[in-house]
């Protein structure tokens, strides 16, 4: 069987057009077709990986009358020849005509392609620029879905509202091809949450925002990481948990538990708020001289250093609180102490400062 990259057309392969009132429309003739940046290179890289390139696109302009069928065919034939696309499947219907099985997010177009090209859909990928494309890929059962674009707060809110989540959001098809290559080759079974600008070697890396200096494997919330259950031997999270809201921390603990193999470990640390609340009491009651740190350090450990958006602390934990949360997530074996990290060659400045009170936890599935 063959594997495929299913691409949306307008907004992924060629640029969208906009009417004077701002409404989106698709090219109505060849002169209006402008290929998106990095599409040629991206498709070439994907074909080198052995994938069929299949475009699946809704084209209701035929129903509305501004796009003639022969012009649609002319545009598609041009794109196929120009970019090396194997085939373009179109739905030319509109819901006003009644129901059809080919208009995305239904899977009729993918089913046609699968029959024509003997495709292994479960090991294929979907790439689109809107959530309807992502839903199409999910409905069809593809391996991973990609949204072309950038992470924006309004789009992330819409994803949560509609409960449609792309596995990855990347700005162009070249980066998509590089990510797919890595996914196809990747054998790592260790994951670092919130890796930031200094990722630990030997791990897959996750963070919630793209970083120009780091190639992240997952740009999403930690409880949404799209890995198979029982697939990881270790999850590492240093300086991360205190940035979660309580409900999100509990979701993360539960998701990490699912991702870990039996015997796999979740290694993390969190400020010990029993100690830091004492420092804060000293600071606010005229006894700052008793504290081992300057006032700004005490405030920052309590509320976050706030060096960038998202660098705020949203939860505080005592030992009893964190152990109870880990137990509720399913973990039954817990080891404590900074040696958990130093024995692995992991170093942080706070490890050598006992007064920089943190809870160091290794929870085993």
Tens digit of each residue's pLDDT (9 = 90 or more) over 158-185: 777 888 889 899 999 999 999 999 888 7
Judge if 4-185 and 187-365 fold alike in CATH terms. Answer: yes
pTM of the model: 0.58
Instruction: Name the more confident of 362 and 154.
Output: 362
What's the pLDDT at 94?
A: 85
What's the pLDDT at 159?
A: 79
Three-state DSSP state, 305: coil
All structural domains of the chain with their residue ranges: 4-185, 187-365
Asked whether the predicted pLDDT for residue 63 surpasses 90, the reply is no
Q: What is the mean pLDDT of the chain?
A: 92
- CA distance linking residue 160 with residue 144, whole number of Å: 18
Asked whether the predicted pLDDT for residue 22 surpasses 80, the reply is no
Asked whether the predicted pLDDT for residue 70 surpasses 90, the reply is yes
Q: What is the Cβ-side half-sphere exposure of residue 6, based on CA atoms within 13 angstroms?
A: 36
Helix count and strand count (H, E) for the chain: 12, 15
> What is the mean predicted confidence (pLDDT) over 267-284?
97
27 touches 147 (CB < 8 A): no
What's the pLDDT at 186?
A: 66
Q: Please give the structure tokens belonging to residue 355.
A: 């007064």
- CA distance linking residue 194 with residue 237, whole number of Å: 7
Catalytic residues: 8, 10
Q: Please give the structure tokens belonging to residue 328.
A: 């509720």
Strand partners, 272: 317
176 touches 278 (CB < 8 A): no
Query: What is the homologous superfamily of the domain 187-365 according to CATH?
Result: Vaccinia Virus protein VP39 (3.40.50.150)
What's the pLDDT at 158?
A: 79
Asked whether the predicted pLDDT for residue 325 surpasses 70, the reply is yes
For 4-185, CATH gives 3.40.50.1000
> What is the mean predicted confidence (pLDDT) over 84-111?
92
What's the pLDDT at 25?
A: 81
What's the pLDDT at 255?
A: 97
Asked whether the predicted pLDDT for residue 91 surpasses 70, the reply is yes
Instruction: Name the more confident of 351 and 345.
Output: 351
Asked whether the predicted pLDDT for residue 187 surpasses 80, the reply is no
| CA-closest candidate to residue 240, choices 117, 150, 348, 127 | 348
| CA-closest candidate to residue 245, choices 313, 298, 302 | 313
Instruction: Name the more confident of 25 and 22.
Output: 25
Assign residue 223 a region: left if phi > 0, alpha if psi is -120 to 50, beta otherwise?
alpha
> What is the mean predicted confidence (pLDDT) over 222-251?
95
pLDDT confidence band for 18 (50 / 70 / 90): confident
Q: At what angle do helices 69-83 and 39-48 cross, to 10 degrees?
A: 60
Percent of the chain scoring above 70 in pLDDT = 99
């Amino acid at each position: 069987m063959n594997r495929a990259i299913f691409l949306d057309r307008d907004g992924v392969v060629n640029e969208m057009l906009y009417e004077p009132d701002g409404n989106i429309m698709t090219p109505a003739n060849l002169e209006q077709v402008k290929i998106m940046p990095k599409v040629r290179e991206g498709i070439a890289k994907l074909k080198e990986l052995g994938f069929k390139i299949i475009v699946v696109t809704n084209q209701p302009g035929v129903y509305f009358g501004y796009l003639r069928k022969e012009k649609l065919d002319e545009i598609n034939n041009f794109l196929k020849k120009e970019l090396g696309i194997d085939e373009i499947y179109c739905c030319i219907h509109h819901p006003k005509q009644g129901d059809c099985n080919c208009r995305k997010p239904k899977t009729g177009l993918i089913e046609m392609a699968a029959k024509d090209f003997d495709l292994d859909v479960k090991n294929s990928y979907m790439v689109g620029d809107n959530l309807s494309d992502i839903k199409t890929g999910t409905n069809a059962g593809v391996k991973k879905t990609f949204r072309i674009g950038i992470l924006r707060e309004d789009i992330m809110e819409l994803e949560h509202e509609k409960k449609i989540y792309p596995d990855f959001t990347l700005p162009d098809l070249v980066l998509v091809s590089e990510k797919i290559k890595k996914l196809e080759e990747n054998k790592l079974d260790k994951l670092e949450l919130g890796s930031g600008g200094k990722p630990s070697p030997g791990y897959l890396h996750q963070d919630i925002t793209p970083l120009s200096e780091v190639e992240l494997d997952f740009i999403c919330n930690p409880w949404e990481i799209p890995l198979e259950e029982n697939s990881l031997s270790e999850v590492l999270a240093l300086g991360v948990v205190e940035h979660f809201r309580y409900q999100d921390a509990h979701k993360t603990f539960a998701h990490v538990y699912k991702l870990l193999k039996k015997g796999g470990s979740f290694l993390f640390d969190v400020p010990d708020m029993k100690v830091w609340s004492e420092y804060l009491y000293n600071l606010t009651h005229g006894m700052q001289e008793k504290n081992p740190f300057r006032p700004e350090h005490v405030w920052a450990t309590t509320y976050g250093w706030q060096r960038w958006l998202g660098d705020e602390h949203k939860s505080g934990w005592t030992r009893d609180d964190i152990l109870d949360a880990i137990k509720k997530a399913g973990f039954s074996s817990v080891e404590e102490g900074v040696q958990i990290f130093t024995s692995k060659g992991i170093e942080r400045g706070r490890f050598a400062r006992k007064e920089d009170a943190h809870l160091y936890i290794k929870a085993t599935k």
